[in-house]
Structure 1
Amino acid sequence: MASLLYSWRHIFLFLAVAAIGKAVAAGYTRPVFHPTPWKLAYATFYGDETAAETMGGACGYGNLFNSGYGTDTAALSSVLFNNGYGCGQCFQLRCTKSQYCYKNSPITTITATNLCPPNWSQDSNHGGWCNPPRTHFDMAKPAFMKIAQWKAGIVPVLFRRVTCVRKGGVRLMFQGNGYWLLVYVMNVGGGGDIANMWVKGSKTGWISMSHNWGASYQAFATLGGQSLSFKLTSYTSHETIIAYNLAPSNWRAGMTYGSNVNFH
């Protein structure tokens, strides 16, 4: 019996090592991000029902329909925006303690795509809703209307960070040229955010990219005419993924390139 148990232990160990090996080969480490506890904040909305005014934004995602985020988005107060490191993060919100909340307090999930800047000409409790140190969500109107009546203007909400569930791999939108590469990182799963990024040309080693603004990173290097690989680390979970040969050697600015890896 002892020898049989010993054999089963070896089989389980072998399977575990094999699974880890597959994960490493696929270019990612195991997830460590977990939802956060519920906290109290406030929410307003901007734009109209079409969400046309929410397109673009400080994160640099451009047209939010084309980039996959749609209208379930919000601009964050600077405390949450965190100099752009909050871009791409996902939150669940539900209206609370207001006559304008919908019955049974439905929950909606939004992605952070923009900055709600301070308005120092207004009191923080009367118009300056996004002034530090307030935690505030300025939602796209269609998203706001999922939790409360729009005529409320502003409502208290409970919120928590949640895992971003994305279809497909991380996508990178290129700007710049063969000597300066600027990349916008989109469709990020897991924590939804990026802390650090590196690029590797087919003729170079790994080159550290600096944070530009929002969800964009840049490299001042000669990379034209080379296929490009990227390594990314999540700001929240510290996971690392590697997208090998994400862009072909004839890559060009203005194009978006998809990978087959993502955070989980």
Structure 2
Amino acid sequence: MTFCMNTMASLLKALSGTLLLIALVLPNCDAHVQPRHAIRKHRPNFKPGPWKQAHATFYEGHTGTFGGACGYEDVAKEGYGLNTAAISTAMFNDGQTCGACYEIKCVNSQWCKPGQPSLCVTATNLCPGGSSGGWCDSPHEHFDIAHPVFSHIAEYKAGVVPVQYRRVACKKQGGIRFTITGNPYFNLVQVSNVGGSGDVVGMQVKGHNKLKWTTMKRNWGQKWETNCMMVGESLTFRVRGSDGRYSTSWHVAPRNWQFGQTFEGKNFKQRRRSKPRR
């Protein structure tokens, strides 16, 4: 009897160790179903924020160099054109602000263009502290604007100019773009060309078969990760902007999608205001 009990205890111990090993090896998939009422609840259009004070400089380079800390590879191909800017650490918010849009006007400088025209840019990079004579160090709010479009608001010879800016809605052509990279055990999805608030604060993915709604984590910038098995699944992505609005792109990637491919889904739209009844 004692021998049988000892044998049973040894078997249970071995089984426990095996189960623990399996738990460590299997992906920790954070499945989560978003309540329908939270998604369908009407939320207003993204509205411009208040005007604030900052400074602006410009930087040079071709389109492929403008991605940097936000994870974008080529801002021109990804829907942002050349109207882009690197923003200071105080505004970057650890990458959450990537994709946000700003209206900028040069003020109180002899180098401002006549009539104080506005320039709309998308935040696509980080202006690291100390890179522009301290302008990008905290707590300064600063824009380092792409060279080709800086001249819309000021003369190049100015170097640095005081500006007024405000957050505005992003108006994009086409849908939100999802670029999938990684490997079967680590998936990385870059989100770009986002309308509305422009930035992404939440991301989920769902397959057509085994993969249930799964919350993805921000890896860096606008790259989102999961170690859940996505290969062989028709993929649906759900994006949440900082204004609380959701956009769901159903089955945007087919079952036979490949790493390195980009798929275009549904974008945020600015809803037209209904005319009051007379």
Instruction: State the TM-score, normalized to the length of structure 2.
Output: 0.79
Who is 1:218 aligned against?
A: 225
- The equivalences for 1:163-182 within 5 A come to 163-182=169-188
Instruction: Give, in whole Å, the separation in 1 of the partners of 2:73 and 2:110.
Output: 35
Who is 1:249 aligned against?
A: 255
SS in structure 2 of the partner of residue 58 of structure 1: helix
Select which of 51, 55, 58 maps to 2:66. Answer: 55
Instruction: Give, in whole Å, the separation in 2 of the partners of 1:127 and 1:53.
Output: 25
Confirm or deny: 8 A CA contact 2:63 2:75 kept in the other structure. Answer: no
Who is 1:238 aligned against?
A: 244
Instruction: Give, in whole Å, the separation in 1 of the partners of 2:203 and 2:63.
Output: 31
Q: Does 1:94 align with 2:100?
A: no
Gaps of 5+ in 2: 1-36, 271-278
Q: Does 1:209 align with 2:220?
A: no
Instruction: Give, in whole Å, the separation in 2 of the partners of 1:241 and 1:53.
Output: 28
Q: Does 1:188 align with 2:194?
A: yes
Who is 1:153 aligned against?
A: 159
Instruction: Give, in whole Å, the separation in 2 of the partners of 1:90 and 1:28.
Output: 25
Select which of 58, 68, 73 maps to 1:45. Answer: 58
SS in structure 1 of the partner of residue 250 of structure 2: strand
Confirm or deny: 8 A CA contact 2:79 2:173 kept in the other structure. Answer: no
Instruction: Give, in whole Å, the separation in 2 of the partners of 1:262 and 1:135.
Output: 27
CA positional deviation for 1:167:
1.6
SS in structure 1 of the partner of residue 157 of structure 2: helix
Instruction: State the TM-score, normalized to the length of structure 1.
Output: 0.83
Q: How many residues align?
A: 232
Confirm or deny: 8 A CA contact 2:66 2:125 kept in the other structure. Answer: no
Instruction: Give, in whole Å, the separation in 2 of the partners of 1:218 and 1:263.
Output: 26
Instruction: Give, in whole Å, the separation in 1 of the partners of 2:78 and 2:40.
Output: 23
One-letter amino acid of the structure 2 residue matched with residue 162 of structure 1: V
SS in structure 1 of the partner of residue 215 of structure 2: strand
CA positional deviation for 1:141:
0.8
CA positional deviation for 1:29:
4.9
Confirm or deny: 8 A CA contact 1:179 1:222 kept in the other structure. Answer: yes
CA positional deviation for 1:78:
1.0
SS in structure 2 of the partner of residue 230 of structure 1: strand
Confirm or deny: 8 A CA contact 1:163 1:192 kept in the other structure. Answer: yes
Who is 2:265 aligned against?
A: 259
Who is 1:228 aligned against?
A: 235
Q: Does 1:71 align with 2:82?
A: yes
Q: Does 1:115 align with 2:126?
A: yes
CA positional deviation for 1:180:
1.6
Percent of aligned pairs sharing the same letter = 44
CA positional deviation for 1:54:
4.0
CA RMSD of aligned residues (A): 1.9
One-letter amino acid of the structure 2 residue matched with residue 139 of structure 1: I
C-alpha spacing 1:110/1:118, structure 2 compared with 1 (3 Å): same
Instruction: Give, in whole Å, the separation in 1 of the partners of 2:128 and 2:52.
Output: 21
Confirm or deny: 8 A CA contact 1:105 1:147 kept in the other structure. Answer: yes
Who is 1:13 aligned against?
A: none
Who is 1:19 aligned against?
A: none
One-letter amino acid of the structure 1 residue matched with residue 218 of structure 2: H
SS in structure 2 of the partner of residue 143 of structure 1: helix
